[in-house]
Amino acid sequence: YDNCFTHHKILAWNEIPPGDEPFAEAWEEYIRDIPRHGALAALSTRLVQLRFPVQAGMSSNPNYRLATRRGLPVNTMKEATGTRLEQPAGLKVYLYQTMAGRIPVIETSNRNDFETLVRVFSHRNEPVDIPASMGACMIKGYNNWDRVAKYKQKCSDNFDFNEMKAHREIYQDAFLILTDKEYSGVPAEVLGLEDDEWRKLSMVIRREHEATHYFTLRFLGSARNHLLDEFMADYMGIVAAAGRYRADWFLCFMGLEKFPAFRSGGRLLNYLKNSEISGEAFAELKYLIKNAAENVEKFADEHHEVYAPQGKYEMLLRLSKTNLVKLAANDIDQEMY
């Protein structure tokens, strides 16, 4: 729950949202082609990994490596039989406005298709297991060979590979893959909601959660799978879905709805995978998380301005300058101001 954010690139509220990163313009073109060709076909002609199936050993296949690492044409590659989806017609592709500019979203309500897309873009087309609690994935630093080809065409004889390589914004994309399953694997009845309503709210939370990671990546220099990052991203997602911060929802997502008991399958363990932690330290961590969530809820409910558009932005920045230990302390007003 340490803080690795930097703050020298922070924008004033009147500069939000900033201009898009260059990849947004390329994806506008992809989206324009969808009515004619369908989403999967429109993306497959640009994002080369979609030209290959998910298959054991694919990441080490020589042709796959040539296509994905060097941008070689795939038309004559026998392995390039395409990614198979169960419901390709159910794919939605759009640009989502965030506080860091627009980011492309690939959305599906088919769980198996979601897992396939995550394997394609995050695991080099290998059939790895995807955790059941995972319903979103931000792909960052994606080398888009379609954009490289267009850049080479634009430069013509003046193309300089090293010059391009020094400017990643020319060829690297970020985008989101989302599904509408229950957020954090929490069933609707646990929150007292109807299934349909909870699936809709889950998508709102998930999209805003990932949008927050995109903001911290672009303007605060970091987007990690750490507790402070997740606390901030869940805060923004819950506020977007519920209109206010709900500490009880957050504790449910972490598996702490019956504190001090921890429910197996709660997300808290996802952030402790590489940590050796004693029973005593785990008990202390649960206490910090509960106190931090309840303190932030109390603070937000006493300062309703944090729920206005500008207030949401300023609250995100406040949270990015603190840590869970300070948020769990008794003097949160002092910490926030």
The rounded mean pLDDT for the chain is 94
Please give the average per-residue pLDDT across 132-145, as a whole number.
93
100-118: pLDDT as tens digits:
999 999 999 999 999 999 9
> Which pLDDT value is given to residue 161?
81
Query: Which residues, listed in sequence order, are joined to residue 266 by a DSSP beta bridge?
Result: none
Helix (H, G, I), strand (E, B) or coil at 1: coil
Question: Looking at the structure, do residues 145 and 196 belong to the same domain, yes or no?
Answer: no
Question: Looking at the structure, do residues 164 and 238 belong to the same domain, yes or no?
Answer: no
Question: Looking at the structure, do residues 219 and 311 belong to the same domain, yes or no?
Answer: yes
Residue 104 main-chain phi, psi, to 5 deg = -70, 145
Question: Looking at the structure, do residues 224 and 321 belong to the same domain, yes or no?
Answer: yes
pLDDT at 170 over 70: yes
318 lies in some domain: yes
- What is the phi-psi region of residue 174: left when phi exceeds 0, alpha when psi lies from -120 to 50, beta otherwise? beta
Which range among 73-77, 122-126, 219-223, 309-313 shows the weakest confidence by mean pLDDT?
A: 219-223
Please give the average per-residue pLDDT across 319-333, as a whole number.
91
Structural domain tally of the chain? 2
223-240: pLDDT as tens digits:
887 899 999 999 999 999
pLDDT at 182 over 60: yes
Question: Looking at the structure, do residues 37 and 16 belong to the same domain, yes or no?
Answer: yes
Q: Residue 175: enclosing H or E segment and its boundaries?
A: strand 172-179
Interatomic CA distance for residues 29 and 23, integer angstroms: 10
> Which pLDDT value is given to residue 225?
78
Helix (H, G, I), strand (E, B) or coil at 31: helix
Interatomic CA distance for residues 253 and 195, integer angstroms: 16
Model-level pTM? 0.94
Interatomic CA distance for residues 54 and 119, integer angstroms: 7
Please give the average per-residue pLDDT across 10-35, as a whole number.
98
CB 207 within 8 A of CB 94: no
243 lies in some domain: yes
Question: Looking at the structure, do residues 286 and 173 belong to the same domain, yes or no?
Answer: no
Residue 78: other Cβ atoms inside 10 A? 6
> Which pLDDT value is given to residue 174?
98
Q: What is the CA radius of gyration of the chain?
A: 21
Q: What are the helix (H) ranges across 107-257?
A: 111-122, 145-155, 161-165, 195-219, 227-242, 247-254
Banded model confidence at residue 335, pLDDT cuts 50, 70, 90 = confident
Q: Which two tokens stand for residue 88?
A: 């390709």
Where does a domain end: 122, 157, 179? Answer: 179
Residue 91: other Cβ atoms inside 10 A? 20
Q: What percent of the chain has pLDDT over 70?
A: 99
Question: Looking at the structure, do residues 174 and 226 belong to the same domain, yes or no?
Answer: no
The DSSP call for residue 140 is: E
Contacts of residue 282, Cβ cutoff 8 Å, sequence gap at least 6? 262, 272
Residue 51 identity? R
Banded model confidence at residue 1, pLDDT cuts 50, 70, 90 = low
Task: Name which residue leads in pLDDT, 53 or 334.
Answer: 53
CB 188 within 8 A of CB 195: yes
Please give the average per-residue pLDDT across 254-283, as a whole number.
89
Task: Name which residue leads in pLDDT, 130 or 3.
Answer: 130
Q: Which residues span the domain enclosing 323?
A: 190-337
Question: Looking at the structure, do residues 112 and 231 belong to the same domain, yes or no?
Answer: no
Task: Name which residue leads in pLDDT, 160 or 63.
Answer: 63
